[in-house]
Structure 1
Amino acid sequence: MPTGLAASVLSAGRARRRMAWTVLVLLLCGLTLALAYANKARCAGAPFDADGRSLVFDVVKDSDVCYSDIQFLWLGRDINEHVFPYVHGGITDGGVLVGGAVEYPVLSGVLMWLGASGAADDAEFLRNSALLLAPFALLTAWMLVRRAGRAALLWAAGPPLVLYAFHNWELPVVCLATAAFYVLGALTRYSLRTRGIVAAVLLGLGFCLKVYPGIFVLPLLVYVLTGGLERDPDDSDRGLDVRGALYTAAAAIGTVLAVNLPFVLAGYAGWRASITFQQLRQADITTNSIWYWGLRPMFGPDARSEETFQQAVSVASPVLVLIAFALAMWLGWKRYLTTGAFPLVGVSGAMLCGFLLFHKVHSPQYTLWLVPFLVLLEVPWWLIGSYLVADAAVGIGVFRYFYSMGSGGAGTSVEVMESIVQFGVWGRASLLVVLFFVFLRASAREYRPTLPPVPRTGSRALIPVS
C-alpha cells in the first residue's frame, strides 16, 4: 500500500472517530438537558393561582430541590405582564425593582422577556425558557468536543448541567465565553488580530448577559499584544502588537456600548436599576459565600453589627477580587517571559476562580461558568471530582437546609444540613484556591483520537511514525 494512500486512510479514520465523539457528546448533552428540565419541572404545573404561579412551587421547591430562578422570577419583575424590560422600570428606596426592571444585564433581560412571550403561567415560562436556552448548551458541547475531545463529556453529561442548566440564564453567557476561546484556538486560518477582535465582541456580548466574561478581556489584550501562540519564542526582535491590542479593546468596549446605549436612552432609570440592585445586595444566607459563613460569625447579632459586617464586605470583596486578578495576570506574564506564550485560558480561568472565591455572591449555578475551563485545561480528574462533590453539597444541600429551617424540623436535622452546606462552601473555596494555581500551569487539552494499530509487513511499517 503506498504511503500516501495509507496516510489518507488514517486521516479519514481520525475524522470518523472525531465525528463519532462529536455525535456522542451532543446526544448525551441533549439527554442531560432533558433530565435537567424534568428536574425543574417537578416544581411547575396546574393548579395555578390568579397570577399563573404553580401552587406546588412554594410547597416543594426546597424539599424536592427543584427550585429555579427562572420559575421564581415569573412574578416580581412584571415578566408575567409581558412588560419589555428596563424601559419603564426603576428601583425603590427600599431596593425593590419595579416596572419591568430586572437585576441582570440587558441581554439577560431580553432573554427573560422572550421566554415569557406567549406564556400564561410559570410552567409555560419555564418550558419556553428551556427551549430558548438549550441550543446554547449544545453549541457549547460542540465547541468543547472539537477542542478537547472526550473531556467534553464533563460538560455534556456532568452533574452541573443537570442541576443548573435551567436554574438561571447561564447557558448563553457560558456559550459566548467558550466561543471566544474557540475562535482563538480553532480558526487559525485567520490572523490573530481578526480572531482577537471577534473574541472581544463575543466577550462583550457575554458581559451584556452576566458580566463575568468581561474580566477575560484583559488577558485577551495581552494575548494579542504578545502574539499569541503564533509567536516564535526565539524571535526576540519581533515587537509587541500594540495596534492589535487596541483594536481588540475597542471591539469589546464598542460592543458593550452598542448593546447598552439603546436601553440607556430608552429608560435610564430602568437600566441603572439593575446595577443599583447588585450594589445593594447583601452577603446573606442566600449567597453561599465565604463572607457569610466565615466573616459574619465574627460580628454580633444586632442590627448595627450587621451593618458593619456588610460595610466590611463591600470593601474587602472588590479589593480581594482585584488583587486576585492582578496576581493571575502577573503570574501569566511570568510564564510568558519563560515560554514565549501568554497562557490566555489559564489566566482567564484563574481570574474567574478569584472572582468566585471573593465575590459576595456565589450562586450554585456559577459552577457552569467554571466547567469549560476544567474541560479545556489539563486539570487532574481527582481535583475535578472533588470540586463537583463540594459543589453538589451546596447546590443540593442549601435547599434542603432552607427546608429544614422552614419546616420546624428537629434541631439535629437543621444542624446536619448546615454542616453539609458548610462542607460545600469551604470545600469549594479551598479548591478554588488550588484551581487558581493549577489553571496557570496547566496545558491545554487537545483532541487526541485513539489510533488503530499500524499495519506492518515484516519488520517495516507501512506508515512512517512522525
Structure 2
Amino acid sequence: MSASSAAPARLGHALLAGRGRMALILVVSLLATCLTMWWSYQVKLKCGGAPFLDEGRSSHWPVGDPDAVIPCYSDLMYLWIGRDINNHVFPFINGGITPDGKLFGGVVEYPVLSGMLMWLGAIGAHTDTEFFQHSVLLLVPFGLAITVMLALMTRWWVLLWAATPPLVLYAFHNWELPVVATAVGAVAVMAWGSTISPRTGDRRLSVRTAAILAAILLGIGFCLKLYPGFFVLPLAAYVLTYGTSPGPDGAAPLRRTLDWVGAVWVAAAATLTVIAIQAPFMILGFEGWQAALSFQGKRKADVDTNSIWYWGLRHFTGGQNDTYNTLVGLLSPMLIVAAFALAVYLGWRVYQRDGVYPWIEVSASMLAGFMLFHKVHSPQYTLWILPFFVLLQVRWPVIAGYLIADFILDTTIFRLFGIYTSGSPMKWWVITGVNVGVWVHAVLLAYLIFAFVRAPLREPLASFGRRARPSEPDLVTTS
C-alpha cells in the first residue's frame, strides 16, 4: 500500500473508532439514565396506591414509608388536588385568585407550558397515582434527550448527569426535565451549528441562525419555568461580539464591528416566542393568566420555599413579620439583578481578554445568582444547575460538596415538613441536615457566581468550530 492510500485508510479507521466510542458512551449513559429514572419512579410511587380517599387522593399520601432513606414525596402527586387538575379543567382560561391568595378555576402557579403539561398528564387519570404515572411518561423523553445532548457535547462527563443522585431524587419530583431540556438544547444548537461540515468545510449554521434557534428554545423554556429566559442576554452578547479573535503572539484581541442587528434578532426571537405562547392564554382568559403571576408575587419566603431568607434573615427580624416580608420583597429582586449584572460584567472582562464572550459560562453564573437570592429555592432546582457541572470544568470538590449537601437536604427537608404539619417533636438531625444543605448550597452558589465565568468548557464542546485534524475526526463526525 502506498503512502498516499495509507493516509485515507488511517483516517477511515479513526472515524470508525470515533463513532464506536461515541456509540458506547451513548449506550452506557442512556442505560444509566434509565436506571436512575426507574429508581426515582419506584421511590416516588410509594406515596401513592390504593386505597384511595376522596377526589382520588391515596391514603398513603404524603408519608409513604417513614423509614425510607429517600422520602417518597413528589410535587406531581401533590398538585393533583387544589388546582382543578383532578377535575380536568383546562388551565388558566377560567379562573383567578382570591383576595387571600388562593387559586381557583384551573389556574396553577406555574408558567403556561408547565400548566399544559399538567393538564395533559391528567387526561384519563382518576387518582393522584394515575396522574403521577401519566406525568412520568411525559417526562421520560426529556430526561433521555438531555442525556443524549450532554453526551455529544462532553462524552463521559455526561455521567455526572445520568448516574448521580439528583436524577433519582428529582426526575419525577416536579416538572423540571422539560425546562432543563430547553436550556441544554440551546447550548446543543449553538454547539452543533459551530461544528465544521466535512462537505463544505464551513460552519453548519451561521452564528445568527444558530443563536436565533437557541433563543427560541430559551423562550420556550421561559414559558416552562422562567430561568432559561435569563440566558438570552449573554447569548445576545455573544452574537454582538462574535467575529473578534485573540491577536497574534499575545497581542490585544482583533476587533470587528459589533453585530447589533444579530443581537437584536436574538432578543426578538426569544420575545416573539414568549408572546406567541402566552398570547392565547392572555386573550382567552386574562384573569386566570394574570392570577398565576399574582400568586408568585404574593408568595412569602416561608419554610416551604427553603431559601436563605427563611433560614437566615428571619432570625434577625424576630420572625416572619412585616419587616421580614418587606426586606425579602426588596432585597431578593435587587440582589438577583445585581448578580446578573455582575455575571455579564465578568463575562465582558473575559471577552476583552480573550476576544470571545463566554455566554454559556455567564448563563451558569446568572443561574447561580438567581438560585442564591430568589425567595424560593426548591431542592429540585439542583437539576437546573447540574448540566453546567457537566458542561464546564468546575472543581471536583465543589461538585462533590454540592451533591452531598443536596442529598442531605432532600432526605431531611421533607421530613421537616411532616414534623411541622403533625406537631411532632423536632429531631435534631432533621433540622441540622436542612441547615447544612441550605447553607452549603448558599456558600457554593456564591462561589460559583465567579467561578463559572472563569471555568473552561469541557471537551469536545470547547473544540467545536475548529477545523478537524486527521487525529481528531470525532469532533466533526459525531456532533
TM-score, length basis structure 1: 0.92
> How far 1:464 sits from its partner (Å)?
8.1
> Superposed, which structure 2 residues align to 1:280-295 within 5 Å?
280-295=298-313
Deviations 1:184-224 (A, max 9, x none): 11222100000010011000000000001111010011011
Aligned counterpart, 2:149? 143
Is 1:38 aligned with 2:42? yes
Pair 1:61–1:202, CA change in 2 (3 A) = farther
Pair 1:293–1:197, CA change in 2 (3 A) = same
Is 1:248 aligned with 2:266? yes
Is the Cα–Cα contact under 8 Å of residues 63 and 400 in structure 1 kept in the other structure?
A: no
Deviations 1:221-277 (A, max 9, x none): 1011111xx643337352111111111111000000000000000000100011000
Give, in whole Å, the separation in 1 of the partners of 2:416 and 2:18.
49
Secondary structure at the aligned position of 1:196 is classed as helix
Is 1:55 aligned with 2:59? yes
Decide which of 219, 224, 227 is 1:204's aligned counterpart: 219
Pair 1:440–1:34, CA change in 2 (3 A) = same
Aligned counterpart, 1:437? 450
| Structure 1: segments with no counterpart, 5+ residues | 449-462
Pair 1:76–1:465, CA change in 2 (3 A) = closer
> Superposed, which structure 2 residues align to 1:250-399 within 5 Å?
250-301=268-319, 306-399=321-414
Secondary structure at the aligned position of 1:197 is classed as helix
> How far 1:421 sits from its partner (Å)?
0.5
Paired letter, 2:310 = Y
> How far 1:436 sits from its partner (Å)?
1.6
Decide which of 413, 416, 419 is 1:401's aligned counterpart: 416
> How far 1:437 sits from its partner (Å)?
1.5
The alignment's C-alpha RMSD in Å is: 1.7
Is the Cα–Cα contact under 8 Å of residues 25 and 141 in structure 1 kept in the other structure?
A: yes
> How far 1:295 sits from its partner (Å)?
0.3
Secondary structure at the aligned position of 1:187 is classed as helix
Give, in whole Å, the separation in 2 of the partners of 1:23 and 1:464.
24
| Structure 2: segments with no counterpart, 5+ residues | 195-203, 248-252, 462-469, 474-479
Aligned residue pairs, count:
445
> How far 1:161 sits from its partner (Å)?
0.6
Is 1:13 aligned with 2:31? no
Give, in whole Å, the separation in 2 of the partners of 1:346 and 1:96.
39
> How far 1:62 sits from its partner (Å)?
6.6
Aligned counterpart, 1:155? 161
Give, in whole Å, the separation in 2 of the partners of 1:447 and 1:330.
27
Give, in whole Å, the separation in 2 of the partners of 1:178 and 1:464.
28
> How far 1:149 sits from its partner (Å)?
0.7
Aligned counterpart, 1:458? none
Is 1:102 aligned with 2:108? yes
Decide which of 225, 228, 234 is 1:213's aligned counterpart: 228
Aligned counterpart, 1:29? 33
Aligned counterpart, 2:440? 427
Deviations 1:111-165 (A, max 9, x none): 0000000101111100000000110010000000000011111111111110001
Aligned counterpart, 1:226? 241
Is the Cα–Cα contact under 8 Å of residues 62 and 403 in structure 1 kept in the other structure?
A: no
Give, in whole Å, the separation in 1 of the partners of 2:66 and 2:91.
28
Give, in whole Å, the separation in 2 of the partners of 1:60 and 1:401.
15
Is the Cα–Cα contact under 8 Å of residues 63 and 73 in structure 2 kept in the other structure?
A: no
Is the Cα–Cα contact under 8 Å of residues 221 and 249 in structure 1 kept in the other structure?
A: yes
Give, in whole Å, the separation in 1 of the partners of 2:144 and 2:354.
35
Paired letter, 1:387 = Y
Aligned counterpart, 2:467? none
Deviations 1:318-351 (A, max 9, x none): 0000000000000100100000000111100000
Runs of 4+ in 1 over 6 A off after TM superposition: 463-466
Deviations 1:338-366 (A, max 9, x none): 00000111100000000000000000010
Paired letter, 2:453 = L
